[in-house]
Structure 1
């Protein structure tokens, strides 16, 4: 079963708008509904390429000894009143809270390692600065966190010791495809197409065009902060120039986590609104939701003369990349690489090396985080990851070299194959992957696989939620 939601950026009078989308079956009113624009914006923000800003921490910093638990009794009531807001902003959720003996225990889930570190510090847990890199692998794997502190009241002291509404419709079909050619009939310029695919534990790519991962995980100049859209447009255009007709993979990650997070992640209600409610019914969704939804973001830019076929999709093996993972030799990982889980994103960093004194015998360099205490960074510092927005309408007159040097090339993922015929299915993974080794068979998609689609008949269906954003780009007049 495919659930397709579409949002169009349209310029012109409302009476002149028309959307024509081929579907494989006759749709009834029950198959169609509108969605809130805010949810589309939430998805687009979550999987968009992102800009981050880091400062190198004091290489000679030595964390102070943990304070006595006695001081926990001195916390102000005002701090408690701001706790819920801080929890939401940090991406930390308290799953459970209870006491055992003299211990106050919380069970946490976290969406972002830096947010978890900030929450723990705000809640007065004695953790050393720079803990995020150590917490990160556990956050990415979906671990929960058992955290305890002592209630001083229960301790015997001795010696003082948190526009146009999108349309959604669903149908059953053998092929997973997106009909885009009709939209090119009256196109006067380029079109930007962004496809967000949600499937249980499964990444997707196109079958009939080359697939390439966006270059990721390299440093950019401070100029990028005020021109992130222009920088990313230049990077995207250069990637497509090197790989003509390629569809670019910009993101592949569990939709309930992110690191760094540009905004909130998707929750159960979001999945139901986007279409999980029709993947066998809401009750069935709850019974089989032991596997998380992976969100894949694909980006194509084309004209009426450059696109010859509709887009067909297939399952693809997991990839990782764009993380603060230091490899042998002290360099960050670059490009997309095969792995057991999907953790790939377009991420670009502005870094400020330590400029203060280094007066210790064994300085520790390369620890990055928030501005050091006492530093004067002004009001332009990025306090969270900044997602790129409206790339279709970004300036395209700034050179990529003005933002970064030694930009790595995007690496090919799956090669193009012939588009399937009217009755052919194409949800098999690529036989080979240029991301560093053979693709191999991915795990079977969870969801409606093997479910009954009619009385007495069974079919293997990938449960897919596809969100499409189409922006028609009008050519700008030269000044």
Structure 2
């Protein structure tokens, strides 16, 4: 994106992060070693949505970098917001939510194959100060009405309504905003739905008083029967060098269960696969390649589920669950009682926390996502997480017949891991095999122990 524009119409909910203008649980027994959070993606938008009935709180984190006087955000909203319905919060809460829900890499270490015991397979299921500036006033000649104006934190905010798209476009341009090509038609489609427009610019004096070098997330609270997130303005302003694609992460908080999209397919990412050990050093690249491959398999038209879990616990934990104070800041108003700075990593005896979190990830453009995202709450509280597994073979001394069979089966297991990785990511299978060989995962069957090494003692206990 060219950040030298005087004022840019970023992405409305592009999502909303600088949308801008101008069942029973089985305890995890491995080790969590890495996570795939949003930092892997450049200019990724993050939006947290609390939804309960018609009540909605949207928290919009943006990654804007540039001259703050050139920043502005435009978000279609269904109603005119009062001053108290707008809030500024801290980046750390969204970062914590991102880390808690991120897809993760875990590793296991095979035990001595000579030990005989039953191994249970791990299952994935488990049970601000603001000042009102003015009231409604009509902008003559544009058909644009400023329904309300506020200063909230470091933002100057206007709520606009408009009669037609060309009038709104003209008003925005005359007020110093540059609209990308295609924005006027998109604005018109919102106007036909009687949508209002939330416009926020940085108040430089207020921003200086915060002492911060970044912009804090904005929050909007309102009631409306439609459960949606506007993304169409974002599609007309895609960053350069990304083939028109933008990354959006949605963190939905409800007390009913998992959230899914109704006008696009919601698809679970592949999870639970065993992959080669060398991926531990390349997990970020693995995850990006894997996600891109799944997008292609769904013809670029799916929304992907990356995490769904009761907020009371996690297993394995990529980060601790959010505290009640953090959840309430994100709009979870129904929590009561004393706060716990950190919730348990296992289900508490008193039952589950009455907050369920869903993490959705979408890579979108105008061609494949012509409509805003429409959501629904479900009663599904089954747990799900994007989780990828490293299995280290046993390297100790073992002399039993079971050890011989175990070692003989390892090349086949390694080949299966290689094929799985190639299928998930589209990586070249020969390159994968080479890296596995270099890392000690050999595809050659073990050589039989020469008969004479078992003569005269000393060698018979060194080989299986």
TM-score by length of 1: 0.48
- Structure with bigger gyration radius: 2
Structure with higher RCO (Cα < 8 A, 6+ apart): 1
